[in-house]
Chains A and B, each alone.
Chain A
Amino acid sequence: MGFWERMARIDRRIIYLFIAVVVIVPILLQITLPVTVSPPVRMAYETIDALPESSVVMISIDYDAASMPELQPMLRAILHHCFSKNLRVLMIAQWALGVPLGIEALESVAKEYGKKYGVDYVNLGFRPGGMAQMVGMGKEIRDYFLTDYRGTPIDSLPMMRHIHNYQDIALLVGLEAGATGDMWVIYVGGRYRQDIILGVTAVIAPDAYPYLQAGQIKGLIGGLKGASEYEYLVGKPGLGMAGMTAQSCAHILIILFIIIGNIGYFMIRRRK
């Protein structure tokens, strides 16, 4: 068996080992790389930045722990931006298992800025219904959320007294690990002309590009790269920027694998 045939039949565990090393080592060494902001992320940043003080930003947590490494840094960076601009945050979740992730980020970032629950931010939590709930909230949020995630009646929260439907919400930010973002754009953006920004995992970012180009969303934050760019823009380096070095190394390694695999493929084919 020649060298290239041996390479073509390399044990997959060796590939796994290489991947583990290039992901773990940069994180342990805490190497950070320079960040350049892409136009879709800058659009998202500028949309939030242009909102007048006290505007309400609705953030929808549509992911769970599986997508947490990509979307949680994004959420934290957006919350930093909102609270530093004195915007009010209304959080909901279309994924039940995303609720604790939303609570964790919202409570910790709000604390940094001395924001008060019920006045500067509210967390409504999860209700089933998906698309029906999205459409129905266009008339009255109380038809779906009479209480917040703790069971507190929302009418007893000062911030919620004047918030009834999308007309009272300046911007909707959907953090998406699935198709919920499409529903926000189709049902809420299309019907109620709600301004929307999407933060999505890298896998589904290409799906959101048509919405961005058509002006159906005002900005797009894609994957860990998008999260790192947003962290850079708000000046709060976090897990997004820390993870980009590992992701860079993993991408380079995968490209090297592809090149070696193809050289082997052509060498074997030529010999045959």
Chain B
Amino acid sequence: MMQRKLPLLITFVTGVIMVVAFFVPHPPLGGLEQVSLRWYSIIAGFTLLLGADSLIRTHIRKIRRRENVFYSTVLLCALGLAIGAGAHAFITRGSAFESGTFFMYLYDNLLIPLQATMFSLLAFFIASAAYRAFRARNLEATLLLIAAVLVMLGRVPLGEMMWSKLPVIAEWIFNIPQMAAKRGILIGSALGAIAMSLRIILGIERTYLS
């Protein structure tokens, strides 16, 4: 009984304090809000540990089951190496991010190239996908295609050299039709977020407890 009621009570009290403190930021509510926010940050720090714990357990389980043993082993070794290098730099130099440390060597020579490679693959996939799938099949697809071509041309200097009005058209697409759709989505999602927040504070929405 208490296992379900206590979290609901904490959620209700904290939620109400945060909402009221937003409108009345004076003592004692303002102070309570600040304490709650600090607690939230501390808990957020611990969730990083939970994430690491979950990652390690998942991959140890995979190694035991002989599923993708190589990749899981590489991941665990890399994780251990990064934690070890970071801890060593922190103890010896006071910060993991000091230049000249082994951690920064790993960051500059492994992490940056790997992350940059993953992201830059997008250029190849987008080009291939555009060639195969971007077809003027109906009116809506044709409008989307024309808008995409105008924005792509209008956002680069070569497009402007072709026709000086292209950047103006691209900016118009951003400012008028795109914005109308985006604003509708934003307002809808904001209303949804308010409704969901109220449901959570009032204990109607309880899926986070499971």
Residues of A within 8 A of B (CB): 8, 10, 12, 15-16, 18-20, 23, 33-36, 38-39, 64-69, 97, 99-100, 103, 125, 127-130, 132-133, 135-136, 139-140, 143-144, 149-151, 191, 202, 205-207, 209-210, 213, 223, 225, 244-245, 247-255, 257-258, 260-262, 265-266
Tell whether, in the assembled complex, residue A258 and residue B131 are in contact, meaning their CB atoms are under 8 Å apart.
yes
Size of the chain B interface, CB-CB below 8 angstroms: 59
Cα–Cα, bound, A265→B138 (Å): 13
Helix, strand, loop or mixed for chain A's interface?
helix
Residue B123 CB within 8 A of the other chain: yes
Tell whether, in the assembled complex, residue B130 and residue A33 are in contact, meaning their CB atoms are under 8 Å apart.
no
Partner of A34, one of B108, B136, B157, B178: B157
Known contacts A36-B167, A100-B104, A248-B159; A262/B123 CB under 8 A: no
Cα–Cα, bound, A249→B123 (Å): 12
Tell whether, in the assembled complex, residue A261 and residue B135 are in contact, meaning their CB atoms are under 8 Å apart.
yes
Partner of B152, one of A18, A129, A255: A255
Query: Of residues 52 to 83 in B, which have CB atoms within 8 Å of A's CB atoms?
Result: none
Partner of A225, one of B40, B116, B136, B156: B156
Known contacts A33-B158, A33-B161, A69-B116; A151/B41 CB under 8 A: no
Q: Identify the stretch in B5-13, B90-98, B202-210 within 8 Å (CB) of chain A at 4 or more residues.
A: B90-98
Cα–Cα, bound, A260→B38 (Å): 57
Tell whether, in the assembled complex, residue A15 and residue B128 are in contact, meaning their CB atoms are under 8 Å apart.
yes
Min Cβ gap B167→A in Å is: 6
Q: Which of A10, A136, A202, A207 has the most C-beta atoms of chain B within 10 angstroms of its own C-beta?
A: A136
Residue B126 CB within 8 A of the other chain: yes
Bitwise, B126-156 to A at CB < 8 A (1) or not (0) is 1110111011100000000100110011011
